[in-house]
Amino acid sequence: MSPEFELIDTRDELDHVLEHFAPRGRTAVVMTMGALHEGHAALVRAARAHVGRKGYVLVTVFVNPLQFGAGEDLDRYPRTLEADLKTAERAGADAVFAPSVAEVYPGGEPQVRISAGPMGERLEGASRPGHFDGMLTVVAKLLHLTRPDVAFFGQKDAQQLALIRRMARDLNFPAEIVGVPTVREPDGLALSSRNRYLSPGERRTALALSAALFAARDRLAAQAALRARAATLPASESRAEALSKLGESRAAADAHAVAAAGPGGADAVRAAARAVLDEAAKRNPPLALDYLALVDPADFTEVPDDHTGEAILAVAAKVGTTRLIDNLPLTFGAPA
């Protein structure tokens, strides 16, 4: 590590650093649970680009026990601080704040916590009760401790990001919350610290998560193209029937599709994704689906078939003993 790069262990050290070094410019924080990979590095690079050379970029590394439920992987969650320091420095961080559990929770588990509310009970919250309360509690504490102008979070954890934004708005946190697009491996798998738990066979099955999202995206694009054609062609049912009588089955099918093209199509997008996941459930090893949901980004409730505007297609599944999540933002009603 360079002489300028710092590892900070305590709140007192953090206060000293923020008082003497951070005032030179804007401060950005990237909150992590360690086991840093290229996705985290992308967050750090985005933070550095945002605050510039004169700004201060702080990475936090803290495995928060409050957001792990019974039977989850708190004990085996990877802890790779030495490697994390190198990754953070290479990506452009000025320091890493890696406090102990006793430093963050000096009186033991806090009796007063942040409640995630109704949005925190859906999808991930339903599968992992209390998870989002624990996550928001530590994010609130770290925002107070690090006092950033801006905080960066990955869009792979879309529900987490939405809840952090809602907390910042509802409780008047001054920090700007910025989301950074999901970073994927060349084969499409979203980068995650848990990917290291996958065997080669499990990893092949896990590719179904991103494949399902991409199939849904392609189905939405096809629907948009049909709607665009329907707006410009005389695509009547009578034309389709005439083509059928002439034996032009492919042309007739296309004409029927164009004639039927209309607004909406969320159900078809869901079906395209589910078809991929259903096939993955038959593999060895199989994919065990937790949920597939097409939701409104504002509150993570399911969107209707005729939805227009922004949506998030989210999926969670287990492969072996490893639970993975992924998502993709989609726009309904966008021009083809």
Q: Using CA atoms, how far apart are residues 300 and 93, in angstroms rounded to an integer?
A: 33
For residue 144, indicate whether it is catalytic: no
* CA distances from residue 78 to 15, 143, 197, 208 in whole angstroms, order as listed: 28, 24, 10, 24
What is the number of alpha carbons within 13 Å of residue 257 lying toward its C-beta?
Answer: 14
> pTM of the predicted model, to two decimals?
0.88
Q: Angle at Cα 116 formed by Cα 110 and Cα 117, nearest 5°? A: 125
Q: Using CA atoms, how far apart are residues 206 and 79, in angstroms rounded to an integer?
A: 23
Active-site pick, 16, 20, 40, 307: 40
Q: Could you read off the pLDDT of 255-307 as tens digits, one per residue?
A: 455 445 454 589 999 999 999 999 999 999 999 999 999 999 999 999 999 99
Residue 77, φ and ψ in degrees, nearest 5: -60, 130
The whole-number pLDDT of residue 72 equals 78
Residue 309 in contact with residue 281, Cβ under 8 Å?
Answer: no
Residue 55, φ and ψ in degrees, nearest 5: -80, 175
- Among all chains, which residue has been given the structure tokens 């019974």? 70
The whole-number pLDDT of residue 26 equals 94
What is the number of alpha carbons within 13 Å of residue 103 lying toward its C-beta?
Answer: 16
Chunked in runs of 10, what are the mean pLDDT values of the chain (336 residues)?
80 93 85 96 98 95 92 84 98 97 95 96 95 97 97 98 98 98 96 94 98 97 77 57 54 49 76 98 98 97 95 98 96 76
